[in-house]
Amino acid sequence: MSLAILADIGGTNTRVALAEGASVRIDSIRRYSNAEYRARGQDIAHVLRDYLAATGAQVSGVCVAAAGPVQDGVATMTNLDWVMDAEKLAGATGAARVAILNDLQAQGQALGHIPAANLRTVIPGPVKAGGAMLVVGLGTGVNAAPVHPGPHGRVVPPSECGHVNMPVRTEEDVQLARFVQARLRAQGEVPHAGVEEVLAGRGLANLHAFAAQAAGHLAELTSAQVLAALETGDPIATHAARLYIHILGQMLGDLALIHLPYGGIFLIGGMSRAMAPYFDGFGLQAAFREARRVDLLLKDFSVTVVEDDYAALTGCAAYLHNSA
């Protein structure tokens, strides 16, 4: 069986692997630091060349999942200054078949191919076989995409909904939105209080800075430091985590009503796994299952955390195999 090379390009690292058909060779997975390649003025083409040189593999197909929009066959990374197209990937790998997916599209293609042991239900609910699904990425960035089964294969439309406005329901939410806008303005960034600014990795750091200010302290912690403080029961980190889960529940509720994912909602990415232990105690289900004019959120939809670092690679393999 012919081989394909796969790449999952995140904001921080790129994972590369080989696949036979729809199956990823787990022992072939390697991780590369994007920062190291950027420092040398290199990009994904050099990562793929280095991988093939190290493994000696010859491939007939290549599929990459990029954390950024894909338009007209060109992927532009949101949190990384890399741009890629079919010509670049074919030139780097020698592959005749090339596919470029948004990372959420790849995750959506992976659903149904992920072992049950890597799925953790955090909000139980009915699951309709063959129903539409929703994949939500929480990591270096934030995004979500619907997953629709169809007669000619699965359809996962691209999306950049991590940049929609953060939900604002309470007076504290209003204060938080203004805080985030002022913080971004002071950093020379676009002063937009989007979902990504409160739910991505940097979002948890923003929430902690807000909670620290509310407590009368000045604190600048990274998301990793906030998570470490949360484990010790630190009150400011706890406040930040409660805000995170409150906002996440509201966002998931809005997305569920937009897309009606009767086949389930699936959370992926490092932040979803890091925050999952706190979902139950800090009220994710209550924030999600609120009464609205329709009662869908009270009784429908399930939410599951995907505890699989390689799901995007699995999705790439499945997509490339099925498209053949």
pLDDT tens figures, 39-85: 999 999 999 999 999 999 999 999 999 877 787 778 888 767 888 89
Average pLDDT over residues 106-121: 92
* Residue 141 and residue 105 in one domain: no
Are 179 and 295 within one domain?
A: yes
Kindly state whether residues 286 and 147 are assigned to the same domain: yes
User: 74 with 133, same domain?
Assistant: no
Structural domain count, the chain = 2
Q: Are residues 181 and 202 in the same domain?
A: yes
The string of pLDDT tens digits covering residues 119-140 is 999 999 999 999 999 999 998 8
Q: Are residues 159 and 99 in the same domain?
A: no
User: d(Cα 175, Cα 153) in Å, to the nearest integer?
Assistant: 45
pLDDT in tens, 134-170: 999 998 889 999 999 887 778 888 888 899 999 999 9
Mean pLDDT of 232-239: 97
Supply the CATH number for residue 62's domain.
3.30.420.40
Same domain, 298 and 216: yes
So what's the pLDDT on residue 257?
A: 97
Looking at the fold, whether 315 and 250 belong to one and the same domain comes out as no
- What CA–CA distance (Å, rounded) separates 201 from 67? 14
Domain span at 202? 117-306
Find, among 208, 277, 266, the residue nearest to 238 by Cα.
Answer: 208
- Shared domain check, 168 and 44: no
pTM for this entry: 0.88
Same-domain check for residues 319 and 216:
no
Average pLDDT over residues 228-251: 98
**Nearest alpha carbon to residue 85 among 74, 72, 95, 96:** 74
Could you read off the pLDDT of 264-301 as tens digits, one per residue?
999 999 999 999 999 999 999 999 999 999 999 999 99
Q: Tell me the CATH number at 191.
A: 3.40.367.20
179 and 192: one domain? yes
For 47: left if phi > 0, alpha if psi spans -120 to 50, otherwise beta; the answer is alpha
* 279 and 135 part of one domain: yes
Average pLDDT score over residue span 230-241: 97
